[in-house]
């Protein structure tokens, strides 16, 4: 097991207190006995449950979701044996499940174009220790933010997207990320990904859309919000799927606006909503708090 955390020079490490913490993520058809079986299993393994969240879409015939955070001495070493021991329990309840090791801090590739605000928020939250992930690299189709990003001690890769040659650019991006990245954050990245790229990181690509979806899907949402005369503007963080701006929503928020605000004001106010919404969604993802169910999410925040 290699070390998943490469701290930035001078920044505090963020794995403190996460060693020996495991997170069991489960979804299965609901029926009596699931919680009893899982909690008994963990108890018998010597694990101490720290947090536990459950949700059922319907106790009769619905889907059951569970996130259990537990502490187990020497988890990193004992993990494989634990997973093996859990297999029969999982099978009995037809569970879709995984065990996440909190100590293996997730590594992010942040994709940007020219706008810096959502990237900066992620960097600041990482530096403050609020975002418990490593920003392994920043990839951009413009060179503009390179100097700033490298000034923060983070690798910056300029990968231009030439007309009609997106597949080549994406191949380069995937090569840069291979084995070094657990999830992709589109921090106001102004390119549409191909379905082939998306398939490489299923439900591990998070986009921030600058509207309160499903209102204003597509381009220029602030200009269209202005035209429609809405009294609130919003932002939406969602997993990227093939259909544009239609993937499972992780988080949304809004802010009040009024007739005094022109399109530039909406963009300025919107920048603050985008920063907060994307940072929350990324934090929840890297802390294994988001489970996808159909085209929706269960967020154990």
Catalytic residues: 245
> What distance in Å separates the CA atoms of residue 66 and residue 240, rounded to the nearest whole number?
23
Phi, then psi, of 15 in degrees rounded to 5: -85, -5
- Say whether residue 263 binds its own copies (CB under 8 A): no
- Checking DSSP bridges between strand 63-71 and strand 21-29, what pairing results, if any? antiparallel
Other beta carbons within 10 angstroms of residue 11's beta carbon come to 17
Residue given tokens 């690798």 in the structure block: 155
Residue 33 sits in the site that holds its own copies (CB under 8 A): yes
Question: Which one of 7, 16, 51, 196 is in contact with its own copies (CB under 8 A)?
Answer: 51
Interaction pattern, residues 55-84, with its own copies; x per rule: CB under 8 A? xx--x-----------x-------------
Asked if 54 is part of the footprint of its own copies (rule: CB under 8 A), the reply reads yes
In sign, the C-alpha dihedral spanning 190, 191, 197, 198 is: positive
Residue 27 CB, nearest approach to its own copies (Å):
12
Q: Give the distance, in angstroms, between the CA of residue 180 and the centroid of all CA atoms in the same chain.
A: 16
Rounded (to 5) percent helix, strand, coil in the chain: 30, 25, 40
Residue 142 to residue 135: CA distance in whole angstroms? 19
- Residues constituting the chain: 301
Closer Cβ to its own copies, 88 or 151, answer by number:
151
Q: Pick from 11, 93, 97, 120: which binds its own copies (CB under 8 A)?
A: 120
Nearer to its own copies, 19 or 52 (CB): 52
Q: Which of 2, 61, 91, 259 binds its own copies (CB under 8 A)?
A: 259
Q: List interacting residues with its own copies (CB under 8 A).
A: 31-33, 35-36, 39-40, 42-43, 46-52, 54-56, 59, 71, 116-117, 120, 124, 128, 130, 151, 212-216, 228-232, 234, 248-254, 258-260, 268, 271-272, 276, 293, 295-299, 301
């Amino acid at each position: 097991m290699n070390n998943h955390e490469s701290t930035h020079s001078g920044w505090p490490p963020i794995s403190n207190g996460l060693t020996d913490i495991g997170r069991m993520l489960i979804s299965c058809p609901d029926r009596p006995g699931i919680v009893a079986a899982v909690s008994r299993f963990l108890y018998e393994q010597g694990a101490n449950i720290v947090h536990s969240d459950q949700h059922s879409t319907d106790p009769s015939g619905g889907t059951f979701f569970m996130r259990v955070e537990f502490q187990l001495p020497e988890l990193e070493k004992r993990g494989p044996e634990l997973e093996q021991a859990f297999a029969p329990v999982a099978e009995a309840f037809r569970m879709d499940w995984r065990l996440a090791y909190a100590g293996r801090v997730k590594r992010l590739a942040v994709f940007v174009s020219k706008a810096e605000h959502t990237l900066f928020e992620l960097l600041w939250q990482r530096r403050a220790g609020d975002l418990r992930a490593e920003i392994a690299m920043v990839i951009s189709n413009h060179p503009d933010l390179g100097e700033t990003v490298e000034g923060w001690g983070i690798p910056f890769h300029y990968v231009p997207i030439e007309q009609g040659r997106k597949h080549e650019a994406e191949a380069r991006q995937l090569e840069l990320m291979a084995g070094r990245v657990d999830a992709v954050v589109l921090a106001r990245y102004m390119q549409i990904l191909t379905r082939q790229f998306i398939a490489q990181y299923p439900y591990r690509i998070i986009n921030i859309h600058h509207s309160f979806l499903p209102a204003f899907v597509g381009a220029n949402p602030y200009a269209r919000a202005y035209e429609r005369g809405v009294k609130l503007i919003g932002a939406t963080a969602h997993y990227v799927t093939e259909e544009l701006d239609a993937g499972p929503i992780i988080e949304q928020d809004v802010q009040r606006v009024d007739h005094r605000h022109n399109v530039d004001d909406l963009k300025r106010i919107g920048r603050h909503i985008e920063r907060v919404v994307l940072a929350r969604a990324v934090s929840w993802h890297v802390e294994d708090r988001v489970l996808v169910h159909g085209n929706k999410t269960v967020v154990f925040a």
